[in-house]
Amino acid sequence: MSRFTRPAVITTAAVAALALAACSSTGGKQETEGGGGGGGGAGTEEITVAMVTHAAPGDTFWDQVRKGAEDAAKKDNVKLQYTADPNGANQARLVQQAADKGVDGIAVTLAKPQAMKSNVEQAVDADIPVVALNAGMGEWKDMGVLSFFGQDDELAGEAAGERLDEEKAGKTLCVIHEQGHVGLEARCAGAAKKFDKIEKIYVKGTDSANVQSTITAKLQEDNKITHVLTLGAPFAMIALKSVDEASSDAKVATFDLNDEALQAIKDGDIIWAVDQQPYVQGYEAVDSLWLRATKGASIGGGQPVLTGPAFVDEKNVDLLLKK
């Protein structure tokens, strides 16, 4: 049996994240000053932490990351400043702005490491502790970042590929919703290492109509496609519409979860999801910066702190829905 598929590991924190209310945002840049902290139970002096992600507006995955960060901030008496922009250059500028404010720590995603590298290194050179989360598994150390909290995306892709092979899947579309995102490319590459019937397609993740029409067209032109593997829960829900529109028998699997995808697994519409526990990523990133600032402590010993992969399917979905 694959070490990835048996058993699926789900932590209490990850379960709790699935029931959280969504945070609203508008435009490409999302910003909240003081989005957590104050009056925490840590009994330590308040510090300020900036979290800068590449979240796209409306992507509910990031609600879970943010909720984890906010919960840690409340516990630790941290003033959390959350900003996000899916554009690499814009995200890098947000890092620079946080450093210019003299924050006590920065938690950042590195989906587009080349765009981020210079500004992250400048923050490190200014003696601001920086940790990475979610994306940048292969690049964080080279930037002087202290820790990484997330999933090895290539390893997670291999797990998905193994599972597709075990299930004797046929031709499978691996749908990349953001070009240039190193983590998404790694997922498809990992899947292709273990399963040789992967075909990558690119869609514009910020345009739902484009996502649906592109997947639909591909399914209509190639009836040998038996599976669609999306790299985010919102895109799995769109892929289900494409399958219906194309009158295809293809099955849908995905990386990551939201409430809709969780229910779709329960209903048998999505066959499984690879969960990287985004709540844990947000929580540990903030908590680690508080530990460093107040205790001089570090997490990971120079190695990444892995939060996934873990499979969610019909065998354990009831546990998550109950929580």
Q: Which 8-state DSSP code applies to residue 56?
A: P
d(CA 157, CA 163): 10
Placement of tokens 């892709």 in the chain: 157
pLDDT, residue 17, reads 37
pLDDT, residue 188, reads 98
Where are the CATH 3.40.50.2300 domain residues in the chain? 12-151+277-308, 153-275
> Mean pLDDT throughout 157-185?
96
Question: Could you tell me what percent of the chain has a pLDDT over 90?
Answer: 77
Which CATH class for the 12-151+277-308 domain? alpha beta
d(CA 26, CA 221): 36
| Res. 28: pLDDT tops 90 | no
Q: What is the pTM of this model?
A: 0.79
What band does 321 get if pLDDT is binned at 50, 70 and 90?
A: confident
pLDDT, residue 15, reads 35
Which CATH class for the 153-275 domain? alpha beta
| Res. 13: pLDDT tops 50 | no
pLDDT tens per residue, range 47-97: 999 999 999 888 888 999 999 999 999 999 999 999 999 999 999 999 999
* Cis upstream peptide for 7 (omega within 30°): yes
* Contact assessment for residue 137 and residue 291, using Cβ atoms and an 8 Å cutoff: no
Burial 84-94 (b: 16+ CB within 10 A, else e): bbbebeebbbb
| Res. 143: pLDDT tops 80 | yes
What band does 44 get if pLDDT is binned at 50, 70 and 90?
A: confident
Sign of CA dihedral 170, 237, 243, 209: negative
Which burial class, exposed, middle or buried, applies to 5 when counting CB atoms under 10 A from its CB (0-12, 13-18, 19+)? middle
Question: What six digits make up the tokens of 36?
Answer: 């957590």
